[in-house]
Amino acid sequence: MVLSNKTAFGVLAGFVLLASCQQNKAQHSGPVSKQDAVIQPIFVTDTVRHDTDDPAIWINPADPSKSLVIGTDKDQDGGLYVFDLKGKIVKEIHNLKRPNNVDVAYGLMLNGKPTDIAVTTERFTHKLRIFALPDMKPIDNGGLAMFTGDTTDGFRDLMGIALYKSPKGILYAMVGRKSGPTDGSYIGQYRLNDDGAGQVRATLVRKFGAYSGKKEIESIAVDNELGYVYYSDEGVGVRKYYADPDKGNQELALFAKTGFSEDHEGISIYKTGPGTGYILVSDQGANQFHIFRREGEAGHPNDHKLLKVVRVAAQISDGSDVTSTPLGNQFPHGLFVAMSEGKTFHFYRWEDIAGNDLK
Q: Answer yes or no: are the C-beta atoms of 59 and 70 closer than 8 Å.
A: no
Which pLDDT score, from 0 to 100, does residue 8 have? Answer: 36
Work out the average pLDDT over 139-147: 97
Q: Considering the chain, what is the average pLDDT of its residues?
A: 91
This prediction has a pTM of 0.90
The per-residue pLDDT for range 164-216, each reduced to its tens digit, is: 999 999 999 999 998 889 999 999 999 999 999 999 999 999 999 999 999 99
Enumerate long-range contacts of 202-205, CB under 8 Å, 24 or more apart.
202/128, 202/144, 202/146, 202/173, 205/172, 205/245
Mean pLDDT across the stretch 296-300? 97
Query: Residue 153: its pLDDT value, please?
Result: 66
Q: Rounded to whole angstroms, how far apart are CA atoms 320 and 49?
A: 19
Name all domains of the chain by residue range, CATH numbers in brackets. 36-354 (2.120.10.30)
pLDDT by residue (tens digit) across 306-321? 999 999 999 999 999 9
Band (303; pLDDT cuts 50, 70, 90):
very high
Between 30 and 344, whose confidence is greater? Answer: 344
